[in-house]
Structures are given as structure tokens and as C-alpha cells.
Amino acid sequence: ARRSPVGQAHLLRLLSTTAPANEPPKTPLYINGEFIQSRTKDWIEVHNPATQEVVALVPQATPDELQEASRSAAHAFKTWRKTSVLSRQRMMFDYQALIRDHMDELARSIVTEQGKTFVDAKGDVLRGLQVVEAATSIPDLTMGQRLEVAKDMDTYSIREPLGVVAGICPFNFPAMIPLWMFPLAIACGNTTLIKPSERDPGATMILARLAAEAGIPAGVLNVVHGSVNTVNFLCDDPAVRAISFVGSDHAGKYIYDRGSANGKRVQANLGAKNHGVIMPDADRNHTLNQLAGAAFGAAGQRCMALSTAVFVGESREWQADLVERARALKVGQGFDADTDVGPVISPQALERIHGLIQSGVDEGAELLLDGRQVSIQGYERGNFLGPTILTKVRPEMRCYQEEIFGPVLVCLEVKTLDEALELINANRYGNGTAIFTRSGATARKFQQEVDAGQVGINVPIPVPLPMFSFTGSRGSFLGDLNFYGRSGVSFYTNIKTITSLWRAEDADHTTASVNMPTMH
């Protein structure tokens, strides 16, 4: 019943823009409710990271196409902002159901273009879907306040959408991160321009098709493609009022500076180096399993991966056991049901990670487990790297200083919790951290004294569910208002306060007053 005839028409148009069987399909733009093929001559190849096969082409959208998308969003805003909050809520209900129904299709696209395992890809979709589910509370989330401030005089606040807002996405969560952005923006009454990562745009295209099926009108969601030129357009376009960015430090700082200089509101989630502190009193089995999962899951390509282990005191003896658990993880392509660790995104990423591992060895770290020689039968060209563990790492080493973003765990040893806290708080990133302990007092001290935005206590990847917000801090975040939750609603809205005077009876004889009204 939800599948409208309009949705079917979009689908047919999408299919008609795909290439002949022997050529990779050309990813369309989605502008003003139409899936259209770019007129560009400049196409970027999307590779399956397990095989190097070119699975799609992505256009560097032309300046005209970007203008067209912006005009479409600006035009749609005039009517979209006037739709009732209940109809926006209803569309979010329909949208979440459609995403749930197409979970496997979305996950297949993610495995093919990004490389993570099928089960993990479903988790990627689910964590985004939860944000859409939370957006169904939009009437409550956008409710204002009201107070009678003086006799017959009321002040009330309302939340209004900003206008056109843009989203710029990274490769590592092709469904979750676009879903952090546009559903909440749209539910608040904005219209959107989304730029998926040029390395894996497929999931966003499916999400756009489903948005049309859910009845989200033409121009409310637009998908534009490309790299730096498209980003520059979004940072400079006067119609764009706000930018949500998730990705690397380099691009994020650039976008934050350029967007802010143009007067736009910008939220930018950046890189990370998340430390897990292992206290000697922790539950050994639970801790080592959580550590191995959080360091090597998604091939370490999660911004909340627990990529740095800090062993306190006697817990350093557990590293041999950790190596055994890491060694037991199966490396392979994402559609193989036994695979634990898929490929990394590109040969360049693989080479960079190899370089960082070698730098650790050269600087005096010990390689407890070396995954560099891994080869997967039938997938010899894939960007595979087995779980790798470096120990005796020191803070000045490059492998500690830089985000590795691969299945590599660096281990440090300290004597006390205070030393662990000092180390974490001196690190430039503040995305997430975790402590493993059986002591409530230790956990409370850690929670109070650690300077990171998201803290796990016996929980390795404390990404908050969407009734809260994603609260990375310090070097892992630029801006003032975080993604999703109430903070996300604040990001995508302005508060207007109205003060009104309606007397129950005709005004008595008042005289002009030049003093500042104090409303006593």
C-alpha cells in the first residue's frame, strides 16, 4: 500500500539510466524527484574492495547540475516547510518501514562497495534506521515553550526549519551516516542536498528511492555526487544554510572553515583514536572478547573502533590470550558467512596501513601478530589485512599518533589508572573510550576524569542510541551541536520567540512610554 505509483516511476527511471550488461552502471543524480544521468565526462570508479572489480561509476556532478539540485531544494522548501508536522511524522513512519523491508538489499550494496560482512552491513543499516524511528517523534522533539509573562502577555517559542541543508558523508557507514543526516533534517521541515562518499554511493541511492516511495516529495531530498568540487559548491552556495559532515580531519577542518566563513552552521565529526583501558580486576574473558571484536570488527574502519588498548598493571599478561582470539578471526570477503574481518576500502588505504605497522616496528614496538601476509583464495586481489597487534607502543610513535583505520590494535602498558587517564587526556582526539573493570569506584573515577565525549563501562563501542546524541569531543568534533537526538534537532532548527499582547477587553487609556519595557 505504501508503494505509490510515483515511487514505481522513479524506479523505472533509475533502471533506465543504468548501463549495458558489460559496463558498470552509472550512478544517477537524484534531483527534484528524478533519477537523472549526469552529463559529466568525469566519472569515478567504485571498486569492490574484495576483488577490485569496478561495480559502478559515480559522476563528478557539473556546476549546472549542482545549481539545479540547489534550486530544486530551495523551491521545495517553500511548500515543505508548510506541511503539517503530522504529515512529516507519517512519512517517517512509512520510511522506516520501507527501510526495514529493504534491509537485505541495502546490506548487499554495502558489502559489494564497502567490503564489510553482510551481518555487519545490516547493523550499519539498523543503526541508521533507528535514527529514522526516533525522527517519528518529531512533534514532541520540536515542541516549543509558552509562558504568560505579564497580564495578557504571552511569550512562546517555536522551532523553525533553516531551509536547505547539506550532508557530506564518509565511506565507512554508507547507510548509517546519511541516515544520521537527512531524515531528521527533513522531519524538522528542511530540504536537503546529500553527497554520499564517492567510494560507495549505492546505499544512498537505494535510500533515495525508498524516500520517494515513502512519499517524501520532489526536491525535499536531493543526492549529488562528486568530490572536492561538489564539496566546494555546498560550502559556498548561498542557499545552503547548514552542513553536516562526517569524515577525516583534513576534509572536516577544511569544510568547517569554508562553510563557517560563508556564515553557515557546520557540525563536523572527525577522526578518532579510541582507548580501551583494561584494569587487572576486569572480567578477563568478557574484556578480551569485547576488545578483539571492537578492534578488528568492520576491519577496524569504524570511527568508534577500539584501536588502542591500555593495559594497566598485571593485565599486561593478558596480551598473549588476546593474540589467540585475534588470530582465530577469519579474514575473507563479506558475503562469506564465516568471515569476521573483510577487506579495507582501497589498495591505497592498505598500503598506508602497512606503512604505519612498519613504522611501529621501526620505532621499537613489538609485532605480536602480523596480518600483512594474508591471502584469500579466489580473492587474491582484495585489500585484505589480517588482525595485527603491536605492543610496547609509546605515545611518541607514529602508529600511536595517527588514526590507522584498519584492523590494527596498538597496545600500551601503564602502571596505574591515573597514568591511563593522563595518556588518554593528552591524546588530541576525544571521540570515545572504554574501561573494563569490576569496580564501581574505578568506573566512576574514570567516567568523571576522562576527557572524551563517549564513555563505555564494560562496553567497548559506546555509540549512543538516537534518543541521545553522538557526542564526540575535542579533536574528534568541530561545531556546537552534535548529530541526532535533541542536539540534532537544535542543529536543524532555529528558535523563534514571540511575545504577544491580547487583552480580554479594550485597551484602557495608556500613554506612550519611552522606557525599556520591563513587564512588571
Question: Which of 251, 292, 390, 393 is in the footprint of ligand NAD by CB under 6 A?
Answer: 251
- What does the alpha-carbon distance between residue 253 and residue 471 come to, in Å, rounded to a whole number? 18
Handedness of CA 330, 333, 338, 339 (dihedral sign): positive
Measured torsion, CA atoms of residues 252, 403, 274, 346, in degrees rounded to the nearest 10? 90
* Stretch binding ligand NAD (CB under 6 A), from 34-42, 80-88, 104-112, 267-275: 267-275
Residue 172 touching ligand NAD (CB under 6 A): yes
| 255 φ/ψ angles, rounded to the nearest 5 degrees | -70, -40
Residue 121 touching ligand NAD (CB under 6 A): no
Instruction: Give CA 12 to chain center in angstroms.
Output: 30
Burial of 328 (0-12, 13-18, 19+ CB in 10 A): exposed
- Taking only Cα atoms into account, the Rg of the chain, rounded to an integer number of angstroms, comes to 25
The H or E element that residue 31 is part of is strand 29-31
The H or E element that residue 75 is part of is helix 63-80
Burial of 325 (0-12, 13-18, 19+ CB in 10 A): middle
In whole angstroms, the minimum distance from the beta carbon of 258 to ligand NAD comes to 9
Beta carbons within 8 Å of 85's beta carbon, 6+ residues apart: 138, 139, 142, 189
Residue 27 touching ligand NAD (CB under 6 A): no
Residue whose CB is less far from ligand NAD, 149 or 465: 465
In whole angstroms, the minimum distance from the beta carbon of 271 to ligand NAD comes to 4
Annotated catalytic residues are 303
In whole angstroms, the minimum distance from the beta carbon of 199 to ligand NAD comes to 7
What b/e readout covers 15-31, taking b as 16+ CB neighbours within 10 angstroms?
eebbeeeeebbbbbbbb
Beta carbons within 8 Å of 327's beta carbon, 6+ residues apart: 369, 387
Question: Which of 33, 163, 247, 342 is in the footprint of ligand NAD by CB under 6 A?
Answer: 247
Residue whose CB is less far from ligand NAD, 200 or 340: 200
Residue whose CB is less far from ligand NAD, 163 or 247: 247
Query: Are the C-beta atoms of 389 and 322 separated by less than 8 Å?
Result: yes
Question: Which of 58, 98, 169, 399 is in the footprint of ligand NAD by CB under 6 A?
Answer: 169
Burial of 382 (0-12, 13-18, 19+ CB in 10 A): buried
Query: Are the C-beta atoms of 485 and 467 separated by less than 8 Å?
Result: yes
* Stretch binding ligand NAD (CB under 6 A), from 43-51, 98-106, 144-152, 190-198: 190-198
User: How many residues at the interface with ligand NAD, by CB under 6 A?
Assistant: 29
The pairing of strands 146-150 and 153-161 is antiparallel
Question: Which of 33, 299, 403, 446 is in the footprint of ligand NAD by CB under 6 A?
Answer: 403
Question: Which of 206, 208, 211, 231 is in the footprint of ligand NAD by CB under 6 A?
Answer: 231
* Stretch binding ligand NAD (CB under 6 A), from 5-13, 41-49, 107-115, 165-173: 165-173
Span 470-489, contacts to ligand NAD by CB under 6 A: 470, 472, 476
Question: Which of 61, 168, 288, 365 is in the footprint of ligand NAD by CB under 6 A?
Answer: 168
In whole angstroms, the minimum distance from the beta carbon of 517 to ligand NAD comes to 45
Question: Which of 17, 248, 359, 439 is in the footprint of ligand NAD by CB under 6 A?
Answer: 248
Residue whose CB is less far from ligand NAD, 242 or 282: 242
Residue 297 touching ligand NAD (CB under 6 A): no
In whole angstroms, the minimum distance from the beta carbon of 171 to ligand NAD comes to 4
Residue whose CB is less far from ligand NAD, 170 or 217: 170
Question: Which of 86, 228, 261, 519 is in the footprint of ligand NAD by CB under 6 A?
Answer: 228
Span 191-210, contacts to ligand NAD by CB under 6 A: 195, 197-198
Beta carbons within 8 Å of 180's beta carbon, 6+ residues apart: 128, 131, 244, 246, 470, 483, 484, 488
Question: Which of 246, 399, 421, 435 is in the footprint of ligand NAD by CB under 6 A?
Answer: 246
Question: Which of 333, 339, 431, 442 is in the footprint of ligand NAD by CB under 6 A?
Answer: 431
Beta carbons within 8 Å of 29's beta carbon, 6+ residues apart: 35, 36, 37, 38, 59, 61, 65, 69, 222, 223, 224, 225
Binding residues for ligand NAD, rule: CB under 6 A, are 168-173, 195, 197-198, 227-228, 231, 246-248, 250-251, 254, 269-272, 303, 403, 405, 431, 470, 472, 476
